[in-house]
């Protein structure tokens, strides 16, 4: 500021300058508000896009299909369908052909491919549940194929639109909750693809991660905060923990590939290996959260316990750790939520295979929800666009649930000293 600048309030230049300064103050404030708003709007737009595209995935259309089993060539004898092999016997029959034939009779020659895999599994269930229907004529509500489903949701091609209109005019089309999406596994046919297999895989993986990362992380935090001597080893441990927390997740995938798969010969694509890999990634997060939680326990608690004769170990495990536990739990849940949404390291250890059955155990091939989303996003079939967004909604709900739990724990149990 030059010395000649007028500082008397009677001068017009002074007023002008102050006005300018206040204007820039308001502008600055507006820019700040805009920055926050852009972030919030982006989040809202992201969530809105996913919801708009994905909510359709939770409903699907069913069409009424009259089937005359006496005229179909299924060669199924109701008598053989009462034993434990019923499911297999029905699956061996050409249900797809029977459905296609019935569809052509009901809706004309264009309807040969009106129903997909979803209809076959619904029909299988219906026949196993009531074998006697094979002796007569029934009308069943079956889920329509992916193309028809898209057309019924108003964006399909002309041929499918015609079928939809035909079915609508007969009141033979209805919209229901897509239960198979939540109970079935991956499929090549979008109409019968579901998230259950991936959800179960995620669940098993997170259990392994939790069982390994939580105890190790808490014990390491206790050691570093309460017992570690100040020396070079402790420094090395601290540096490596802080560094591990910032290592890109894909590097952990490479580690898992090189060590767990190639050296230790653990099964590929298994939740066990995925859980191990994610545990190494989550452990530093838990250690850091644990140390912060232990730090907040006031020294007076330790002094009091030591004063009445407790050993250092007793002070830590009887008094400090229980008081720090809510904070540690909060950090752990947030770390596990991050592990739940992680994709890249699991791609490295082969959890990207097409797996049509939910995993039966920790060593069976499995996939997880984020990887399933990634795989579906690569599919060419238009029916998968909706499925991908619907799976994203499921994933986001789980993240929300876990973070909500963490916030609840923090508010409910955390103490202010």
> Closer CB to another protein, residue 126 or residue 344?
344
CB 145 within 8 A of CB 113: yes
Q: Which of 12, 36, 308, 380 binds another protein (CB under 8 A)?
A: 36
List the interface residues with another protein, window 278-317 (CB under 8 A).
280, 283-284, 287, 311-313
Q: Which of 11, 139, 227, 397 binds another protein (CB under 8 A)?
A: 227
In angstroms, the CA 71 to CA 104 distance is: 14
Stretch that binds another protein, among 158-166, 187-195, 219-227, 321-329 (CB under 8 A): 219-227
| 228 near another protein, rule: CB under 8 A | yes
Measured CA distances, 185 to 29, 144, 189, 204, 412 (Å): 51, 18, 11, 15, 38
Stretch that binds another protein, among 28-36, 84-92, 108-116, 300-308 (CB under 8 A): 28-36
Site string for another protein, 387-416 (x = CB under 8 A): -xx--x--xx--x---x-------------
List the interface residues with another protein, window 320-339 (CB under 8 A).
337-338
Measured CA distances, 267 to 253, 363, 371 (Å): 15, 6, 18
Give the single-character DSSP code of 414. Answer: P
- On the CB side of 396, how many CA atoms lie within 13 Å of its CA? 14
Q: Which of 19, 24, 129, 411 binds another protein (CB under 8 A)?
A: 24
List the interface residues with another protein, window 250-279 (CB under 8 A).
250-252, 254-255, 257-259, 262, 264-265, 267
Q: Which of 5, 13, 34, 179 binds another protein (CB under 8 A)?
A: 34
> Closer CB to another protein, residue 139 or residue 311?
311
In angstroms, the CA 369 to CA 14 distance is: 64
In angstroms, the CA 250 to CA 344 distance is: 5
CA-nearest of 65, 58, 62, 56 to 154 is: 56
How far apart are CB 279 and another protein at their closest, in Å?
10
CA-nearest of 143, 138, 321, 303 to 225 is: 321
| 49 near another protein, rule: CB under 8 A | yes
Site string for another protein, 346-385 (x = CB under 8 A): -xx---x----------xx-----xx-xx--x-------x
Helices (H), 55-172: 86-92, 95-107, 117-129, 146-152, 158-169
Stretch that binds another protein, among 25-33, 71-79, 86-94, 161-169 (CB under 8 A): 25-33
């Amino acid at each position: 500021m030059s010395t000649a600048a007028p500082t008397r309030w009677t001068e017009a230049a002074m007023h002008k300058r102050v006005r300018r300064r206040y204007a820039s103050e308001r502008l600055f404030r507006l820019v700040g508000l805009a920055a926050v708003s852009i972030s919030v709007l982006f989040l809202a737009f992201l969530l809105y896009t996913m919801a708009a595209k994905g909510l359709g995935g939770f409903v699907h259309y069913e069409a009424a299909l009259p089937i005359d089993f006496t005229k179909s060539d299924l060669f199924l004898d109701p008598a053989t369908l009462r034993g434990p092999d019923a499911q297999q016997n029905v699956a061996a029959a050409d249900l797809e052909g029977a459905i296609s034939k019935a569809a052509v009779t009901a809706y004309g020659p264009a309807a040969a491919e009106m129903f997909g895999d979803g209809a076959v599994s619904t029909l299988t269930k219906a026949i196993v549940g009531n074998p006697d229907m094979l002796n007569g004529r029934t009308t069943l509500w079956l889920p329509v194929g992916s193309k028809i489903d898209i057309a019924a949701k108003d964006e399909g091609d002309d041929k499918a639109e015609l079928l939809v209109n035909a079915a609508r005019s007969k009141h033979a089309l209805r919209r229901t909750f897509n239960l198979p999406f939540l109970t079935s596994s991956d499929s090549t046919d979008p109409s019968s693809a579901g998230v259950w297999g991936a959800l179960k895989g995620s669940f098993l993986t997170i259990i392994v991660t939790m069982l390994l990362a939580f105890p190790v992380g808490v014990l390491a935090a206790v050691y570093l905060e309460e017992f570690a001597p100040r020396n070079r080893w402790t420094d090395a441990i601290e540096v490596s923990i802080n560094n591990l927390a910032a290592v890109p997740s894909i590097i952990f995938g490479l580690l898992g590939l090189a060590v767990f798969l190639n050296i230790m010969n653990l099964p590929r694509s298994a939740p066990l290996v995925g859980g191990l890999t994610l545990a190494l990634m989550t452990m530093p997060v838990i250690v850091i959260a644990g140390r912060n939680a232990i730090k907040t326990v006031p020294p007076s608690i330790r002094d009091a316990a030591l004063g009445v004769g407790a050993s250092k170990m007793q002070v830590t495990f009887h008094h400090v750790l229980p008081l720090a536990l809510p904070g540690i739990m909060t950090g752990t849940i947030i770390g596990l939520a991050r592990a739940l949404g992680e994709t890249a390291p699991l791609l490295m250890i082969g959890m990207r295979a097409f797996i049509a059955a939910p995993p039966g155990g920790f060593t069976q091939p499995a996939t997880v929800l984020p990887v399933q989303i990634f795989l579906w996003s690569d599919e060419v079939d238009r029916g998968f666009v909706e499925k991908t967004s619907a799976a994203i909604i499921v994933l986001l709900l789980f993240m929300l649930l876990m973070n909500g739990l963490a916030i609840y724990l923090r508010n409910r149990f955390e103490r202010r000293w």
